[in-house]
Amino acid sequence: MTDAIGKGRLVLTRDYEDYADLHDLVIASGGRHPGILIIRFDDEPSRNLSHRAICTALANLASAGIPIDSQVHVLNQWR
C-alpha cells in the first residue's frame, strides 16, 4: 500500500479485511490514498466475478463519476 500511495496508484485486491483496516488506519491518521478497489469472492463460485465482469465493474464505477480517492469500493456491487 505504501508503494501505491507513493506512486499515486489505486490498489486492486481480494483481501477485503486487511485493506479495509489499512484504509481505516490511513483515514484515522489524517492521511489519504488513491483508492482501494476490492473484488469479493463468495463461497459459491458461480457468484464470483470473471475477468470480463471485473472489467465491466471497473467501467461502471468509472462512469458513475463518484469519488475514488481515499475510498474503498467493492467491485462486485458495480457489475
Helix-then-strand count for the chain, H and E: 3, 3
Confidence (pLDDT) at 56: 97
Query: Which ranges of the chain would DSSP assign to H, the alpha helix?
Result: 2-7, 16-28, 51-64
pLDDT tens string 21-67: 999 999 999 999 999 999 998 888 878 999 999 999 999 999 999 99
Confidence (pLDDT) at 20: 92
pTM score, two decimals? 0.88
Q: How far apart are CA 16 and CA 39, in angstroms?
A: 8
